[in-house]
Amino acid sequence: MIKITDIYKTFNPGTINEKHALNGISLELKDQDFVTVIGGNGAGKSTLLNALAGTWPVDSGRIEIDGIDVTGLPEHKRAKYLGRVFQDPMTGTAADMEIEENLALAARRGRGRGLGWGITSKEKEHYKDLLKTFDLGLENRLTAKVGLLSGGQRQALTLLMATLQKPKALLLDEHTAALDPKTAENVLKATDRIVKENGLTTLMITHNMRDAIAHGNRLIMLNEGRIILDISGEEKKRLTIEDLLHKFEEVSGQEFSNDQAILS
């Protein structure tokens, strides 16, 4: 369970670039909730995810994961609760290291890293089996450097790494935005499968309204650092893109300003 209570974040306070990115967001995710997050450019989607991940401390408010107050924990200490996939396929993996080494790093997330072997032969077999389920042909390239993989392969690998140890929450930050449509669809399918298989609590940012509607059991829309729409259950299943655009204009009094979102 994730509980975010009234968090605020302002970037560059007191300067000409001051930006009130989060303006009192409260959000509670129940176990196995799959929430999609949409919103225009600069609405605070990624900021919300980064606040949860602990990229920087929030100005005020409280963040709890499974009843544990993590507000004061830096990113690397929160990592044990969270699996993350980023927008840029380069961000989630270490290019200079082998596929199996990347997986081994992820398998040790949240544990102390001592002088035991960084990877054991038993693990290698396990990773091989796991990669087979992705059908990317990576199971025979375990010792290849990750830098040699395509963007889609790297995102799929990052997804596997994020869930290798079951996280309390899976945070997906537009993780298919940099991929071509076909690859994006494959990665989304893999996401759905992994989320379902492991019963993960998930927060997925997307700029694609259709994806936001098609995936998950709940949808929230952000604008100017606030949640302006929160739809779940049956109501979400009946939702259309037109509904969303209409609701956005109704609630915010502006036109939805994300070209990509409208076009897709």
Partner 1 sequence: MALNFMDFVGAIPGNVALGLIWGIMAIGVFVTFKILNFADLTVDGSFATGGATAVVLILNGWSAPAALLAAFAVGALAGFCTGLLHTMLGIPDILSGILMQIALYSVNLNIMGGANKAISVDQYKLIISQRYLNMALIISLSFVLVVMVLCYWYFGTEQGCAIRATGSNPAMSRAQGININAMKVIALAISNGLVAMAGGLLSQFQGYSDINMGRGSIVIGLAAVIIGEVLGSAIFGKRMNFMIRLAFVTIGAIIYYLVIGLVLWLQMPTDDLKLFTAIIVAVFLAIPYIKGKAGHSFAAAARKGAKND
| Binding-site ranges for partner 1 (CB under 8 A) | 53, 75-77, 79-80, 82, 84, 86, 90-97, 101, 104-106, 108-111, 113-119, 161
Check if the beta carbon of residue 146 is closer than 8 Å to that of residue 154: yes
> What is the Cα 64 distance to its own chain's centre?
17
Strand-pair partners of 85? 172
Separation CA 81–CA 88 (nearest Å): 22
108 Cβ partners below 8 Å, 6+ apart? none
Helix or strand holding residue 84 (H, E): strand 82-85
When the beta carbons of 14 and 116 are compared against partner 1, the nearer one is 116
When the beta carbons of 110 and 137 are compared against partner 1, the nearer one is 110
When the beta carbons of 110 and 181 are compared against partner 1, the nearer one is 110
Helix or strand holding residue 35 (H, E): strand 34-39
CB count in 10 Å sphere of residue 230:
12
Strand-pair partners of 28? 3
Three-state SS for 208-263 is CHHHHHHCCCEEEEEECCEEEEEEEHHHHHCCCHHHHHHHHHHHHCCCCCCHHHHH
Q: Least distance in Å: CB of 238 to partner 1?
A: 36
Q: Least distance in Å: CB of 162 to partner 1?
A: 8
Separation CA 127–CA 157 (nearest Å): 11
When the beta carbons of 164 and 187 are compared against partner 1, the nearer one is 164
Q: Least distance in Å: CB of 116 to partner 1?
A: 6
Q: Least distance in Å: CB of 101 to partner 1?
A: 6
Q: Least distance in Å: CB of 190 to partner 1?
A: 19
Q: Least distance in Å: CB of 214 to partner 1?
A: 27
When the beta carbons of 164 and 190 are compared against partner 1, the nearer one is 164
When the beta carbons of 117 and 263 are compared against partner 1, the nearer one is 117
